[in-house]
Amino acid sequence: MSVNVTEQYPNYSPGLEGVPGGLTKISDIDSDRSSLQFRGYDVHELAEKCTYEEVAYLLLYEKLPTADELHAFRDSMNRARKLPGEVSAALRMAPRHLHPMDQIKIAYTMQAGFDPNYGHEDKGSNIRKAIRIIASAGTIVAAGHRLRHGEEPIDPDPKLSTAANFLYMLTGNVPDEATEKLFDSTLTMYAEHGFNASTFACRVCVSTLSDVYSGIVTGVGTLKGPLHGGANEEAMRMLLEIGSPAKAEAWIRDALVNKKKVMGFGHREYKKGDSRALWLGPRAKELGKRIGNPTWGQIADTLEKVMLEEKGLYPNVDFPAAFLYYNLGIPIELYTPIFVVARVAGWSAHAIEQLENNRLIRPKAIYTGEKNVKFVEMKDR
């Protein structure tokens, strides 16, 4: 007869679910109210009224910037977007079949050594590193994608924002203002989200007094796993499999009967709906109508209705982000790397916060193996 592990070990929580892992002033997730705040500001208001650069500044400096501070911050970002030649060379040397997330790890590992503050671990140096990390993320992802597909990278334009620059470096076309703002808002939505797996991994890394770049690479490696990143990619592949609104209800009901995983629904932190999805969903559907392709939004309406009726589950942010990115013409393989482009701001803020009041993160394990086993000499084994 099997014993329930949580009954056998009452102080154990699988996956550390619900176990406080530390103190933070960076973001707050209120599951009961389905709200998310960055340093006290509602993420919806930030997405609507601020740019990603303002949000990155807020995460790093603990306050929203003045006009002069934002101008200086943007100037620093623009000067840091272009990759050192050696980093570009490393991306060129990478195998074409390499996963985009592995390209990012290579690029940041190389970039660390060319950072002017390499080897300096004071807060000011770490913030300057963070600015370079955030500024170069879109360049790394866009350049890596173009190289994988046999195209030459496009240099960033110092006159463009983080959001506009990414789309420009990816396609060669400067997006219109509405497209830029919509994409920018998704970067804000993805910028930070508490002690999720990649953020916690980043904090564990720097808690050893490793450097910020190592923490970021750890975060990238953790996000690569499909149980954390990749949900937006799988959600879009699911929508493509369904194909049309007419097939949506039959597909989702069959999936539920056969216990097939439905991507983009449910979230460990939100029981009454992911606040980011509640904000982004209508905007993603409106984009589809505006460009004359409402199909994905119509399929989404059906899936959302049935999932709520049958399972009590709401969509998470990855669901509307998937068809929003698809309608913007962004390749599906880049959805998780875009997560990185946004989340490096949150990872950097957490790395800096961890180091400010550091204690090595070292949880206790519950041993379940044999004890006091008698040693057997080689001749008798």
d(C-alpha 345, C-alpha 353), whole Å: 12
Task: Average the pLDDT over 120-134 and give the result.
Answer: 97
Q: Which CATH architecture has domain 27-225+340-356?
A: Orthogonal Bundle (1.10)
The residue with greater pLDDT, 60 or 14, is 60
**Cβ atoms of residues 206 and 351 within 8 Å:** yes
Between CA 280 and CA 41 the distance in angstroms is: 17
Q: Look up the pTM and report it.
A: 0.94
User: Domain ranges in the chain?
Assistant: 27-225+340-356, 231-327
Give me the sign of the Cα torsion angle 108, 109, 113, 117: positive
CATH assignment of 231-327? 1.10.230.10
Four-CA torsion 203, 111, 156, 219, nearest 10 degrees? -20
Question: In the predicted model, is pLDDT for residue 1 greater than 70?
Answer: no
User: Nearest to residue 60, comparing CAs of 124, 147, 152?
Assistant: 124
Using the predicted structure, report yes or no on whether residue 2 has a pLDDT greater than 60.
no
pLDDT in tens, 149-176: 999 999 999 999 999 999 999 999 999 9
pLDDT tens digits, 271-302: 788 889 999 999 999 999 999 999 999 999 99
pLDDT tens-digit map of 24-47: 999 999 877 778 999 999 999 999
- What residues are labeled active site? 228, 267, 318
Binning pLDDT at 50, 70 and 90, where does residue 3 land? low
